[in-house]
Structure formats: structure tokens, C-alpha cells
Structure 1
Amino acid sequence: MQNISPLMQLSIGFWSFKALATAYELDLFSHLSGTDGHTVDGLAELLGVDRRPAELLVTACASIGLLEGKDGRYVNSALTDEFLVPGKDNHFGGWVQMLDRRLYPAWGRLTEAVRTNRPTSWNPDEQAHLFDSEDPELLAVFWEAMHSLSTLTARELAAHVDLSAATALLDVGGGSGAYDIELCRRYPNLRATVFELPPVCDIVTKQLVAAGHEDRIAVTPGDFLTDSELPPGHDVVLLSMIMHDWTPEQDLAILRKCFAALPSGGRIVISELLVNDEKTGPPAAALMSLNMLVETVGRNYTAAEYEQWLLATGFVDIQTVSFDAPGANGAVLARKP
């Protein structure tokens, strides 16, 4: 007889996530940060809840490594204190909020998405895309999540992809500019341009000012799907966590615009969670690909698929670099001859 424990752990996985999300929403980790710990009674008072739910929540959080308990007092684990306390440099709470408030309900309708091949995190009958007519507060949470995810991922990309010879980088669909901030920090001679939709440009500008990089990173409004060309004058084009949103046909069109915008010898960097060529995993990439079913018209692609598209576009010297980061597990690199 097979051991049912792995199946049991899969089936109750949402319990752990909701414990995390609820604790974050109640500011549990903020209350514990910088203290020598609190008792259950003390935490119940701080959270404004009864003792019973406070005890159950902190016990659950301790069981999954979010808290540590000793002598009746609870403190944040090192992981929690670094990533789940608002205001800290590596704050990752926006990602937790976005999953809880936006994607958790959408995944509750996953069967519907599979049957209809339509997103469930927004209404395609009433909205042109997932950002159209979105609740401003929830949209702000989305961009905070993307910034934290991209910041941590960009650090790994910078450590594994050598851009020391580059002078000007074009970040196509660059979101909040997190990749550009991190890459410019690592490479003092690099300048960058974030090419984004007009409503996102204000978000980018605020992040650049906060990081002190507004003098090295420009912001150019545009739409990489509908604009006929991309801004010229860059020797590297970056596509970070963008291609999985779109169909193969749309991605090919994006690559053609990137090719046209680059000079001879220019490079393209595609940073993504890559599905393996056998399409059996890894879990992070495969599940993110399934997430695209409730969010977009795309999916997560394989390195072989990107190589095929890059060759068809005219790029050469294609290689894949692997690394481990929250938003990507590798990058596909190529050069314009």
C-alpha cells in the first residue's frame, strides 16, 4: 500500500498559506519584530482577538517555521523577521497579500478556468486586460508584490548573468523598475530605460526616486504589444517575467521588436520560471504556468521554446543560465549578429 502522507500534505497545503496570510493581515509579525517575544495572552491583546484563536494561530505559525516558541513566549523566526515585517529592506508581504486577496479567490475557480480557458482573476467580458478597471487598492498591492518579487529575483539574475560590458539596458514591460535598480547597483556604468504602460510610469518614478536612481534610469511610456517599435539606443534588452503573460504568437512579435531595436552585437535577456523540456516540472514553473490560466492568455515556456523563437527571429549564440530565485529559475540569453 502506498504511503498516503504526501497526498495528505498536498491536500492541506492551503491551511499553511492561510495561516501565513492571516497572521500577516493581523500584523502579528510586526508586533513581534524587535521584541523579546510575547505570550499568547499578550498577543491576543495586541491583535484584538480572543485568547483561543490567538493560541491556535501562533501555534500553527510556529509549526510551519514562521514563529519560534520558548518558555511560553513567541518570537519571529529569522526568515519571518527578514521578509515579512513591513518597512524592512527585503519586505515580501506584498506578495502574500496579492496571493491572498487576488489569486486565492481566482484559484478557487480553477475548474471553471480549465473548462472555459478564460481568466478568473478578472472579467474578460467587462475588462480589456487584468489591469483595466481594477480596484486601485488591490492594484497597489499587486505592484508592491511585483516589486518585492522582482527585487529578490534581479539580485540572482545579476549574480549569474554578466552585464559588465553593457552600457544601456532597455527593460521592456519593466514594472516598478526593480530589475533596473538592482542591476544599476551592481554595474556602476550601466544606464537603463523602463518601457511601461503610461499608468505604471508614475509607480516606476516613485520607486526610482526612493532608490536614488532617477538620474541613471529613465522612464518611457509605451505599449510593447501595440507600439510598432521599441525605444532604440540600447545594447541590452531585458524581458523579465513578461513572456509568460502572452501567447506564442504575441511573444514572437515582441522578440521581433526587440531584435529591430538592438544594434549588431546587442544582447537579449529573458528572465523567467522555465518549465523543463519534458514539461514535467519543476513545480514552481509548472504551477506558475497554471496560474497564467486564471490570470492571462499565456503560460510558462521551456528553454527550448525560447530558443526556437529566438532563432526564428534572427538571434544567435543562444544559451540558458540557471539560478534559484522567487520569480525566475533561469535566463535565456542571445545575441543579434
Structure 2
Amino acid sequence: MTDEQPTPDGVLRLINGYWATGVVGAAACHSLFTHLEDGAGTAAELAERAGIAPRGAQTLLDGLVGVGLVELSEGRYRNTPEASRYLVDGKPTSLSGFARLKLKHMGGLAALPDVVRAGGPVRNATTEVADNPHWEEIVPAIAAQSVPAAGIAAEVLGLADAGAVAILDVGGGSGVYSANWLAANPAARSTQLDWEPINVIARRLLAERGLADRFTTVAGDFHTTDFGTAEYDIALYSHIAHQESPEDNIAVFSRLREALKPGGALVVCDYVVDDDRGGPALPLIFAAEMLLKSARGGTWRRSDYHDWLVKAGFTTVSFHSAPPATLVIAR
């Protein structure tokens, strides 16, 4: 009796992973998950509602079943619970915009062999400037990723019962943390520091949520803009550390420590890997994105964050799961 040999199925799925990106992105472009949620359950019904060819609708449905986002039962299709929560347009947690955005990024991976050889980007990055028009697309597209983490952080901090706290959100992007935290605590106020074209997007979101009267913005670069001294109860640094060097992160953490009132808390949210770099999976894979786009960034270990925060003057550091990210809370 011979040992059972592995099949190539898993390897082929990975080699052809761009098929999944294409299927999910195309389905999001045509709002297929939204139409499924609204009751369309066959290729013909989806084709009519989405204004696409029946053959195209069937092809996307086949692909979505294949990647596990759509289920087929008694001849009708429906979203899985995962797709229902994260890919239906209009839901606060919807990542459909991000799925559409990733279609445009697929070609960039062709440069990865050269980037690996060089140890960093092989061409000058042009996205990280204040007046890049791509912010209007990318900032809202990635906002939903922070909704679960914002809720977990609010629970850990006891934010709902914290009273009239002052919040500083550094590089706050869409303003989604401020929107969720101000909704949870009617006495809280939040200040976002970011480039002005991005602050415009955040002010729009807070206005749509009826929270604009407790939300202010400061236009500037967080590397150089003064955070103040002992002004805030909570500071937030979400999905920024991965693009910064260890030295830059320590410098920002030190300035944030000074900006906090005694007993204040710094919340860091990012893709964090285990100390032995054995997991979690998505943060490990995300390291390739940083190699492509960041000269000195990376997916940093828990021990890195702990060491940086202690050097910055914090005395207690705790880690909280917020899949696929990790919350790091320091006081």
C-alpha cells in the first residue's frame, strides 16, 4: 500500500488566485451580491437586474460558488452569510468598493520579482501625497475594513460609558473610527489629523451620520504636525504603522504619549504577525504589499510593537484580536 500523494489542486488555486480577485471584483462591479440579497436567485434574474448577459451572470455565479461566497440550493443561488455581511452595497461593513478597487491593482504584482530582488519599490511611489485624486476612491473603499475593529476597541476601552472624552485620530482617513465612536458615546468629541483632501471625505461621512458638530479636522502631515500636550483621553493610529520604519513609529508613539492626558490610552490597529512569524495568514501575505509600495515598512511583530511603545514611554501594552487585524492598546 502506497502513501497517498498530494494533488495539485491547492497549488493551482494559488497560482490562479487572480481568477478569484477578478470574479469577486466583477461581481461587485455589477452589484451581484446586492441583487442576490434582494431576492434574485437565478442567472436569468441576475442578468436582468444587473443589465448583463445571461452567460456572464452564469459565469460569475459559477465562480462565486467556487470561491465559497455564493450557495446553490434547489436551483437558486443565495449569498453566504459572509458575502451578505461584507459584499452587499450600502451596508456599513461592505467591502464591495474594495473588491472593485483591487481589480485595478492586479497588474502591479508583476513587478514583485524585481521588488524582491531589490528589497523595496523599484519605482518612485506617487500615491502618498496630499493632492492625489485617488484618495476619493481608495479612502471610502477601505473604510469598512475598520468597522469591526472600531467596535471591538470601543468595548475594550469602555467607550460608551467614558463620558466627555477627547479623541485624536492620526491619519484618520474616512473618519470611520470617529463615526463609530461618537455614535457609541454622545458626550465624546473627536479630532482627525490628515491631509485636507482626505479630511473632506471624513467630514462628509460624519455629516451623513449626524455627528459633524462633535468632529473637527486638522490639515497636516502627522510626521511634522504638533499633536499638543496632555489634550486627549484616547489617541488612534490605525493601519499606519505598517508603512513606517521602526524609528518613525517610535517617534510618533512618543509624540502621542505626550498628547495624551495622564491615564490616557493609545489604540494602534494594524496587521500584526506572531513573534515567530508563523501567522496569522493575511498579515503574513500583506508583507508583499509593503515590499511593493513602502521603502521601509512591513508587517511588524507583537514584540516590535511592545518594544516601541515601551520606548515611547507607555508602561502597559495589551493585544486584542480584531481579525484580520490586531488592536494594540497602550497606557
Unaligned runs of 5+ in 1: none
Q: Is 2:154 the partner of 1:158?
A: yes
Listed as ranges, the matches of 1:71-90 within 5 Å are: 71-90=74-93
Q: Report the counterpart of residue 181 of structure 2 in structure 1.
A: 183
One-letter amino acid matched to 1:316: T
Inter-partner Cα distance in structure 2 for 1:270 and 1:40: 44
Q: What is the Cα deviation at residue 236 of structure 1?
A: 1.8
Query: 198, 202, 217: which one pairs with 1:204?
Result: 202
Q: Report the counterpart of residue 237 of structure 1 in structure 2.
A: 235
One-letter amino acid matched to 1:28: L
Inter-partner Cα distance in structure 2 for 1:105 and 1:53: 23
SS at match of 1:323: strand
Q: What is the Cα deviation at residue 48 of structure 1?
A: 4.7
One-letter amino acid matched to 1:306: Y
Does the CA contact (< 8 Å) of 1:161 and 1:321 recur in 2? no
Q: Report the counterpart of residue 113 of structure 1 in structure 2.
A: 115
Does the CA contact (< 8 Å) of 2:169 and 2:190 recur in 1? yes
Query: 92, 96, 102: which one pairs with 1:93?
Result: 96
One-letter amino acid matched to 2:109: W
Inter-partner Cα distance in structure 2 for 1:190 and 1:87: 26
Inter-partner Cα distance in structure 2 for 1:296 and 1:174: 19
User: Mean alpha-carbon deviation: is it higher for 203-212 or for 105-114?
Assistant: 105-114
Inter-partner Cα distance in structure 2 for 1:190 and 1:131: 31
Does the CA contact (< 8 Å) of 1:169 and 1:191 recur in 2? yes
Q: What is the Cα deviation at residue 92 of structure 1?
A: 1.7
Q: Report the counterpart of residue 140 of structure 1 in structure 2.
A: 136
1:207-254 Cα offsets, whole Å, 9 max, x none, are 110111112222111211123x21441122111111111111111221
Q: Is 2:305 the partner of 1:303?
A: no
Listed as ranges, the matches of 1:1-150 within 5 Å are: 2-4=5-7, 5-35=9-39, 37-102=40-105, 104-119=106-121, 123-124=123-124, 127=126, 129-131=127-129, 134=132, 136=133, 138-150=134-146
Inter-partner Cα distance in structure 2 for 1:315 and 1:224: 20
Inter-partner Cα distance in structure 2 for 1:117 and 1:276: 22
User: Mean alpha-carbon deviation: is it higher for 198-207 or for 178-187?
Assistant: 178-187
Inter-partner Cα distance in structure 1 for 2:46 and 2:115: 40
Inter-partner Cα distance in structure 2 for 1:79 and 1:332: 26
Task: Give RMSD over aligned pairs.
Answer: 2.4
Q: What is the Cα deviation at residue 38 of structure 1?
A: 4.2
Change (3 A) 1:42 1:248: same
1:179-220 Cα offsets, whole Å, 9 max, x none, are 111122223332211111122111111011011111222211
Q: What is the Cα deviation at residue 143 of structure 1?
A: 0.8
Does the CA contact (< 8 Å) of 2:25 and 2:100 recur in 1? yes
Change (3 A) 1:48 1:275: same
Inter-partner Cα distance in structure 1 for 2:155 and 2:148: 11
Q: Report the counterpart of residue 282 of structure 1 in structure 2.
A: 280
Inter-partner Cα distance in structure 1 for 2:234 and 2:200: 24
Inter-partner Cα distance in structure 1 for 2:162 and 2:52: 56
Change (3 A) 1:333 1:91: closer
SS at match of 1:108: helix
Q: Report the counterpart of residue 334 of structure 1 in structure 2.
A: 330
Does the CA contact (< 8 Å) of 1:274 and 1:303 recur in 2? yes
- Regions of 4+ moved over 6 Å: none
Does the CA contact (< 8 Å) of 1:239 and 1:271 recur in 2? yes
1:245-285 Cα offsets, whole Å, 9 max, x none, are 11111112211211222233332221222111112221111
Q: What is the Cα deviation at residue 50 of structure 1?
A: 4.3
Inter-partner Cα distance in structure 2 for 1:263 and 1:51: 60
Aligned positions, number: 323
Unaligned runs of 5+ in 2: none
Q: Is 2:321 the partner of 1:317?
A: no
Tell me the TM-score normalised to structure 2 length: 0.87
